[in-house]
Structure 1
């Protein structure tokens, strides 16, 4: 057996290619009570036909692709039948004894379509694929009846996409009539029914069966399959065609017994006679168990005895000592006068269901060690919860039933919100006790939405982690949809991207590790490039960039991890690193890492991103990877191997940066107390949020009404010491899935009203935020050292140089100039030359080559704390400006030179 997908296009093609003389038809259809379902196939020819290549396909709940299929084998003899019965063991023996084959594909209701195909060709069909509702016309209906093909029908209906009228080719027989199975022909024609005997009205107040006797103690009724008459007061009316098709009644006050273990209420599956809340009625019908819920079915008569009565609700409270304790109230009008919190809103938009409990419930392995301790937590969780159910059988109601003012993008119902009183009837279905409210519950916003947390006052660096829930961008140019994951169209991508951009920009994180982004490389059309471009378009105050690992694909999975950062806040250092070695060659996604430097402080740190193997798809898991029943689900062993290998890889400093400050963020698919997180800790990578909080009550994800952290930040001790704040920002886990970007399962009105571009329900995981006090490594302060001047430096200057001319710059060294720079130079020996604090020699007075051809200075350098260099001689050679020499003057005035010699000698003596 396997499941196939048959699209409407394929059906059209198949109908054109089906042989006109197809010899197999669907000859009988049994849609009986409970699990009594069967299909009969008839060979209309005079030769045996092999069933090899034939497939029976079921299309449930308006699906246009087959939801279940059965490949047929064997053969059908000439003019013979082949009976396929549901594989559910709860079908009656009378039906099972007629089966040639048992199949899960025979599990339909009156609104599900079927096809019989040979290869790609439709040979015959029943119902209309994609249509909604039971098919009824001409006194023939497909719900709760046996239908037999008219004997003159010799070929199949090959177009399953056209309107289906069962009265055209089918005859109707009673529910659970199996008498015609196994043969087909005139003998199966219904015999005319005689006129019905006059019905005697029911007598109110006559002898009757008490409701508490129907319910009795425990589970199944002791009166199962017995026809009875009972009386009671209608407490809840759900007779609508899109409701439960019935109503609840409770015992008359005089009929209530003293046994607290017997319920005084029951559901009556009947909608042909309209009743109202407060009616006193008498019902004749058969006691039945429908999916383990006691009810009255096959109702033949109802009498309304009185109206306007009032039934009193029975007070119950959670938690119960045992889940089975609620059986004593099944079918009764009850009230819970206590504060209950919303623990599950996953089915709110689709099914009108809300999980409630006495408190917020955690996954066992989030707050307790795997095994007995974690399992004990879950046992207690079960006792604390109840399901609120709007009583509608129609999916995707518009408006959504809760909150009472209508669910919308800006009118949410978050996990952690509360309700103080719940009144309704207690039902049981799909293995859950549930309350169908008779009074609209009033919810209180006790867990309001919050803005992204402000950067901690002591922090100057923020690192975050965000699972972007299959961000796939098609071909990166507006086409390429649908993709294998994520948005099905460009419209959905635009909606998805807007929400992600709102969330990421609000984080104001300097480095962000991403999970579940399309694994399509790093070119301009890649998913990571598209997301970063959208971020830059939306946030003009920052410059976003991504780490380019320079490969076409990281590992082999359709999704990967990524690193984006604000280039105006940090810069990349080192070499981006990845590994696909075991245990990252499959299951666990390939690790990535890169080192960064904070621009404001210069501190260097390394960020890595992980996405370990998920907890789903357990069918192929074996050995220690199988679900061992300890609360960790399947594939735990490979996740532990991933944690250990990841830590070892990071310890090897794969980016080439020898720095101990390392933080690993990501979706570990392990809750806080599970083996992988403890393996990280054993390797020196501590759970940041748990370390700061001192507990594991943080959460980033909600599954089946239980909170837990699948997303973590684990860090080395050196980096952990610098963390000043860490938290999960609850924008996704608490929000209803109906508020996401998808347009499926929504009316045109809801596509608009349930959506906003805000961060809320941008994904299914909450981002993790870590604030760090970034401090650069201090440089050692050297021992104080005096400046050093180069000895006997020589400079040249012409005698006609103007005052202020820079002659040159002294050569000197200062080993601790960063701490104690040179601030001045001490000069002695001549007043015509000065030296500024940069060591430049400057002409301070007129120079005269004739009188002085070399100036000798004694110089010392002094630093900011007074350290002096050794004194050194500095020589300034003065050259003659020959343009001032005039030969005529030198001849006629030569005698004056002789007169000046005594004065010159005296001047030199003074120097």
Structure 2
């Protein structure tokens, strides 16, 4: 007799005082992961119960008053169940639910009462008492467990008394649903069941290939079947996948390459081992795209067998549906794969892999049809290396072995070998649940400083500092709108940014995502400059703040190396009055030179698609939302800078910043077709990147030089310290244990932000006019120098920088006049 049969019999025989009485008790309580919450009621009487006068009430966190009251609906026949569940619960719960709600349900520290006509009939917990996290102990607690009523246990109609669930219930692991909704535990009413499945080993069984079929949905969805196959992998430990995989032995396969021979069995409590031949009865269920066997009713071990050899596979997939033929089967990859994304490594223990590095389509291809081809290729060339766990923020992040830390990282671009496991499908992604530990090779190692072949004599950097906000500037005022949540996080963030900016060894750094809180001594930009040291200063444009956005652009610079020329300038009119942040322009020159450069730092509108319609909506060409708004910003920037934005007369211009546009998109081509050179493309190539988004790399951060400055550019690089690193290594402390807050963090440059800095090395003219006038190099200015200049002018050779005597960036007759005056000693 099952537990629920025994409970029903005991209730009818002893708890009821008259055969005419009808009563409900709480027979099962599920406090599972996420919204897997349910209460099962059992009619222990001999008459149908009309639920019109029945209610469930939830008392949150020790409250004396009900936080939720649910009026129950329908009726419950004698000996039958009624299941009340959350509407976002797992399909196994919803498939047996009689009533659902989208409202918040209970946690382990909340009391629950079942009422009839306002009178408490049964209860869980103690009203007015906050137990901490749960009532009970060991395996029988009201948190992260399923509780099922013991045989003959009486109802608890006094919710104010002390409470111990072990007095009434047996405990089961989290997310145990297999008994839910079955009045007798197996939907039987006693005696022999003529429809019971044949469980004799070797008897007829449904082939797994027939269950899987050759489409995404099983042709037997919703049907009860018996399967006999070998167990290939077991993942039913706590916080794992709550089940195991089985696969047909060789003699039972259909030899059809389009149908899978593997199947996932959802059963958190069934103890099996790989290599066992298992005969099992259950229901075929489609769970968010994965065909599985659930609601297990019976199982028998039928000996052991060698595991089937894993299928040898490779990426990219031949088609979008190709993996279906291998769903839930053992597989091994013929070659190592490349890490394309590690964003979820710390949170979910997973990595996105491909046969090669993936790039944002519009970073390497023209928007539209060409970009769509790249996107399609990327989609066929991906798999998630998972950790066979449902746990978020695991205590040990398994990759790279033995675990992730600040000094032991796995970067995008690294390679993974020894990939063997089960091909799984969940959360709309194909995944490898490993059955052996993969190995990692650091094919994209860290570098301790930017790799420049030549640093020239003036280095400019562009750096998105990922919401550097400093509270009120006195160590308080947290949390702010963005960035660090408290002074501890700010300290950690500052240390990383200081390490990164110091290692840039730049003379001027253009900043994006600095808090827009002005330029006083307690502002964010002042705090960052002060943290870098006494030689650092920042540009103050003389405004209270730069526009109305929470974040702004700015400049910090080495005052012992460079100086500002003239005043800083900004553009507050459309399209910079809304959406695009206001740009900031400033002319700089070395302390030992009169050869200056005007820098314009920018942060265009992001690609996020919210509150957008019309031309600014996503046009499906790969450029995302707000593309016209960003293009208008590029056009306005061109006009502004062409008209001497800083009023200094300086001709050399360098546009830097996060333009939220990839290399082939309209805003960038607007600039490059109007006289500006994309310095990253010309020096780093088409596959350069500064940012990784959903496993694809590209550069949103730019350096663009106008024609007069382009000749002075010595080298350009992107320093890959952020985009390739796991976000778990950043300064934030949330979603990390105390141990991880220490082990994941280091006050170094890596993951100081989510964007990589861009570095531009320039060779500015620092020679005096007299030094430049000595054309023949004999140490003095004489007629031979003048003759050399005139001959070069006559024969068209006076085009090299050596003939720019007055240092104004161009070669004209004024250079000859300067030389003559020097010759005369003027």
Matched, 1:376 2:373: yes
Matched, 1:691 2:682: yes
CA distance in 2, matches of 1:200, 1:289: 21
Q: Which residue of 1 aligns with 2:655?
A: 664
Of 336, 339, 352 in structure 2, the residue corresponding to residue 339 of structure 1 is 336
User: Contact 1:784 / 1:816 at 8 angstroms: preserved in 2?
Assistant: no
- Once the two structures are superposed, what CA deviation does each residue of 1:107-134 show, in whole Å capped at 9, x if it has no partner? x898898999xxxxxxx99999995999
Q: Which residue of 2 aligns with 1:563?
A: 555
Of 542, 551, 571 in structure 2, the residue corresponding to residue 550 of structure 1 is 542
- Once the two structures are superposed, what CA deviation does each residue of 1:614-651 show, in whole Å capped at 9, x if it has no partner? 112x2301101111211111111211111111222222
What is the DSSP-based 3-state SS (H/G/I as helix, E as strand, rest coil) of the residue aligned with 1:232?
Answer: strand
Of 749, 762, 766 in structure 2, the residue corresponding to residue 772 of structure 1 is 762
Task: Flag structure 1 segments of 5+ consecutive residues without an equivalent.
Answer: 1-25, 42-47, 50-54, 60-69, 117-123, 180-187, 538-542, 786-813, 823-862, 864-911
User: Contact 2:449 / 2:504 at 8 angstroms: preserved in 1?
Assistant: yes
Distance change (3 Å), C-alpha of 1:303 and 1:109:
farther
User: Contact 1:626 / 1:633 at 8 angstroms: preserved in 2?
Assistant: yes
What is the DSSP-based 3-state SS (H/G/I as helix, E as strand, rest coil) of the residue aligned with 2:533?
Answer: helix
TM-superposed deviation, 1:405: 2.5
CA distance in 2, matches of 1:89, 1:237: 21
Q: Which residue of 2 aligns with 1:679?
A: 670
CA distance in 1, matches of 2:397, 2:88: 36
What is the DSSP-based 3-state SS (H/G/I as helix, E as strand, rest coil) of the residue aligned with 2:318?
Answer: coil
- Once the two structures are superposed, what CA deviation does each residue of 1:173-214 show, in whole Å capped at 9, x if it has no partner? 9879789xxxxxxxx999999778799993221211111111
Q: Which residue of 2 aligns with 1:522?
A: 519
Q: Which residue of 2 aligns with 1:583?
A: 575
Of 700, 706, 720 in structure 2, the residue corresponding to residue 730 of structure 1 is 720
Distance change (3 Å), C-alpha of 1:577 and 1:222:
same
User: Contact 1:216 / 1:222 at 8 angstroms: preserved in 2?
Assistant: yes
CA distance in 2, matches of 1:815, 1:505: 40
TM-superposed deviation, 1:654: 2.3
CA distance in 2, matches of 1:132, 1:672: 55
CA distance in 2, matches of 1:174, 1:458: 65
User: Contact 1:575 / 1:655 at 8 angstroms: preserved in 2?
Assistant: yes
Distance change (3 Å), C-alpha of 1:164 and 1:714:
farther
Q: Which residue of 1 aligns with 2:235?
A: 238
Pairwise mapping of residues 751-830 of structure 1 onto structure 2 (< 5 A)? 751-775=741-765, 819-820=822-823
User: Contact 1:468 / 1:515 at 8 angstroms: preserved in 2?
Assistant: yes
Pairwise mapping of residues 459-608 of structure 1 onto structure 2 (< 5 A)? 459-536=456-533, 543-608=535-600
User: Contact 2:178 / 2:295 at 8 angstroms: preserved in 1?
Assistant: no
Matched, 1:327 2:324: yes
Distance change (3 Å), C-alpha of 1:719 and 1:209:
same
Distance change (3 Å), C-alpha of 1:641 and 1:819:
same
Matched, 1:204 2:201: yes
User: Contact 1:476 / 1:527 at 8 angstroms: preserved in 2?
Assistant: yes
User: Contact 2:134 / 2:142 at 8 angstroms: preserved in 1?
Assistant: no
Q: Which residue of 1 aligns with 2:254?
A: 257
Q: Which residue of 1 aligns with 2:614?
A: 623
CA distance in 2, matches of 1:512, 1:635: 27
Higher-RCO chain (CA-CA 8 Å, sequence separation at least 6): 2
User: Contact 2:599 / 2:655 at 8 angstroms: preserved in 1?
Assistant: yes
Distance change (3 Å), C-alpha of 1:362 and 1:689:
same
Task: Flag structure 2 segments of 5+ consecutive residues without an equivalent.
Answer: 1-25, 42-51, 62-66, 76-81, 114-125, 775-780, 784-816
Of 713, 718, 729 in structure 2, the residue corresponding to residue 739 of structure 1 is 729
CA distance in 2, matches of 1:324, 1:300: 32
Q: Which residue of 1 aligns with 2:87?
A: 86
- Once the two structures are superposed, what CA deviation does each residue of 1:824-855 show, in whole Å capped at 9, x if it has no partner? xxxxxxxxxxxxxxxxxxxxxxxxxxxxxxxx
Distance change (3 Å), C-alpha of 1:363 and 1:72:
farther
CA distance in 2, matches of 1:487, 1:394: 26
**TM-score, structure 1 as length reference:** 0.70
User: Contact 1:462 / 1:769 at 8 angstroms: preserved in 2?
Assistant: yes
User: Contact 1:35 / 1:91 at 8 angstroms: preserved in 2?
Assistant: no
What is the DSSP-based 3-state SS (H/G/I as helix, E as strand, rest coil) of the residue aligned with 1:819?
Answer: helix
Distance change (3 Å), C-alpha of 1:463 and 1:140:
closer
CA distance in 1, matches of 2:429, 2:187: 44
Pairwise mapping of residues 153-302 of structure 1 onto structure 2 (< 5 A)? 202-302=199-299
What is the DSSP-based 3-state SS (H/G/I as helix, E as strand, rest coil) of the residue aligned with 2:422?
Answer: strand
Q: Which segment is superposed worse, 579-588 or 498-507?
A: 579-588
Q: Which segment is superposed worse, 670-679 or 430-439?
A: 670-679
Q: Which residue of 1 aligns with 2:362?
A: 365
CA distance in 2, matches of 1:574, 1:703: 39
User: Contact 1:625 / 1:638 at 8 angstroms: preserved in 2?
Assistant: yes
User: Contact 2:588 / 2:597 at 8 angstroms: preserved in 1?
Assistant: yes
User: Contact 2:146 / 2:171 at 8 angstroms: preserved in 1?
Assistant: no
CA distance in 1, matches of 2:573, 2:132: 47
Distance change (3 Å), C-alpha of 1:742 and 1:37:
closer
Distance change (3 Å), C-alpha of 1:211 and 1:585:
same
CA distance in 1, matches of 2:135, 2:712: 62
Distance change (3 Å), C-alpha of 1:493 and 1:522:
same
CA distance in 2, matches of 1:650, 1:333: 61
Cα RMSD (Å): 4.8
CA distance in 2, matches of 1:584, 1:130: 52
TM-superposed deviation, 1:685: 2.8
CA distance in 2, matches of 1:671, 1:127: 57
Matched, 1:652 2:643: yes
Distance change (3 Å), C-alpha of 1:82 and 1:242:
closer
- Once the two structures are superposed, what CA deviation does each residue of 1:633-675 show, in whole Å capped at 9, x if it has no partner? 1111211111111222222222111111111111111111111
CA distance in 2, matches of 1:641, 1:196: 79
TM-superposed deviation, 1:401: 1.0
- Once the two structures are superposed, what CA deviation does each residue of 1:560-615 show, in whole Å capped at 9, x if it has no partner? 11101111211000111122211111211111111111223321111111011111
Matched, 1:352 2:349: yes
CA distance in 2, matches of 1:399, 1:341: 22
Distance change (3 Å), C-alpha of 1:346 and 1:165:
farther
Q: Which residue of 2 aligns with 1:899?
A: none
CA distance in 2, matches of 1:129, 1:687: 63
TM-superposed deviation, 1:228: 1.5
What is the DSSP-based 3-state SS (H/G/I as helix, E as strand, rest coil) of the residue aligned with 1:620?
Answer: coil
